[in-house]
Each structure stands twice: as C-alpha cells, then as structure tokens.
C-alpha cells in the first residue's frame, strides 16, 4: 500500500513538472550568449565617450547592462542608485570617493563632472566585483589602449 501511494505521488509530481513554467522576471544568459553579445558592443560604441552599453533588462528596482569601455569615463555620482560591477575582461582602474570637480546635474538624481579630487584609485581586473553605494563619487579610468568589459547592475535605493 505504501509503495502504491509513493508511485502515485511520483507520477503526480512528474506530470505537474511538465507544466512548470519559468517564473515571470527570471532571466538566464549562458557564458556563450554573453560572449556573443559582447562581440557586437565595439561596433555600437559612442566614440565621443568611448563606451558602449546594452541593456539586459529592468526588473522593479534594478536593471542590468553589458558594458564595453575603451576610454575613461566622466566622474559620476548616483543619488538614489547603487552600482554593482562585475569585471569580465580587460584592465583599468576606478577612482572612488573624494569630490567631483566641475560638477553638473546630467539627469534627475545624477551628477557628473570632469574628474575626482581626493578619491582612491584602485586597479580593476577580470573577476573583480565592485559595490558602489548611492552618493559615492566614482570614475572609470583607462590608459590609452586599455579596454574594460563588465556587467553593471543598478539598484534603486
């Protein structure tokens, strides 16, 4: 009797798993898919700022992008968002902290400027992970000939 009940439960579990759906909002990209998407980014690069981004999606309070950079960025500060960066390839540096020079409002809750004074410069290499909290000045720095590929996750406060 016990074995019959177990067989019946197993059959029900198997049948219901055939109807299981991927939950709404779930996303999965394989390494091969991300490598393929990355190959197209240099052709999309804004040559004025030497960066290309491709949105991977937005879900409620967060979003994710694939980024390819071939030059230094502006100093920036997000008043209401954290940045989480996963370095995929290349080399560069980030200056974090300090004070943004020649600061201007570039968008709601976003400040930009030419550079950072008094910040700390840290090298960036593949495999590094950064968490930059809201209201923290930061700037990506690349020497001529360097490039940096990374995932950028933005999380609203």
77-100: per-residue pLDDT in tens? 999 999 999 999 999 999 999 999
Residue 54 included in any domain: yes
Give the mean pLDDT of 112-141: 98
Question: What is the C-alpha separation between 30 and 23, in angstroms, rounded?
Answer: 18
What pLDDT does residue 10 have? 54
Residue 141 covered by a domain: yes
> What b-and-e string marks burial along 100-129, b requiring 16 or more CB atoms within 10 Å of the CB?
beeeeeeeeeebbbebbeebeeeebeeeee
- The whole-angstrom separation of Cα 39 and Cα 133 is 30
Per the prediction, the chain carries an average pLDDT of: 91
pLDDT in tens, 30-56: 999 999 999 999 999 988 889 999 999
Q: Which of 125, 138, 132 is nearest to 96 (CA)?
A: 138
Report the C-alpha gap between 130 and 15 in whole angstroms.
44
Q: Residue 12: pLDDT above 60?
A: no
- Comparing 2 with 123, the larger pLDDT belongs to 123
> What range defines the domain where residue 115 resides?
27-156
Can you give the pLDDT at residue 1? 55
pTM for the whole structure: 0.83
Within a domain: 11: no
Q: In what order do the strands lie in the sheet with 120-124?
A: 104-107, 110-113, 75-78, 138-141, 92-96, 120-124
**Which segments of 60-135 are extended strands (E)?**
62-69, 75-78, 81-90, 92-96, 99-101, 104-107, 110-113, 115-117, 120-124, 129-132
The pLDDT, as a whole number, for residue 37 is: 93
Query: Quick check: is 94 in a domain?
Result: yes
Eight-class DSSP state of 108:
T
Query: Does 13 have pLDDT greater than 60?
Result: no
CATH at residue 44:
2.60.120.10
Tell me what pLDDT residue 4 has. 58
- Measure the CA–CA gap between 92 and 65, rounded to whole angstroms: 19
pLDDT of residue 86: 98
Q: Is residue 63 in some structural domain?
A: yes
Task: Report if residue 17 sits inside a domain.
Answer: no
Task: Answer whether residue 43 is part of any domain.
Answer: yes
The yes-or-no verdict on residue 21 having pLDDT over 90 is: no
Query: What pLDDT does 22 receive?
Result: 87
- Residue 94's nearest CA partner among 116, 113, 109 is 116
Residue 125 or residue 1, greater confidence: 125
Domain count, the chain: 1
């Amino acid at each position: 009797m016990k074995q019959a009940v177990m067989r019946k439960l197993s059959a029900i579990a198997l049948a219901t798993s055939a109807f299981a759906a991927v939950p709404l909002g779930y996303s999965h990209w394989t390494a091969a898919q991300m490598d393929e998407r990355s190959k197209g980014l240099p052709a999309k690069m804004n040559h004025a700022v030497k960066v290309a981004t491709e949105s991977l999606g937005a879900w409620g309070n967060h979003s994710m992008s694939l980024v390819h950079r071939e030059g230094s960025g502006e100093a920036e500060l997000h008043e209401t968002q954290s940045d989480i960066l996963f370095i995929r390839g290349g080399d560069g540096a980030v200056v974090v902290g300090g004070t943004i020079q020649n600061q201007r409002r570039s968008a709601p809750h976003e400040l930009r400027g030419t550079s950072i004074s008094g910040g700390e410069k840290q090298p960036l290499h593949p495999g590094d992970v950064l968490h930059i909290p809201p209201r923290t000045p930061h700037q990506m720095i690349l020497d001529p000939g360097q490039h940096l590929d990374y995932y950028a996750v933005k999380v609203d406060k």
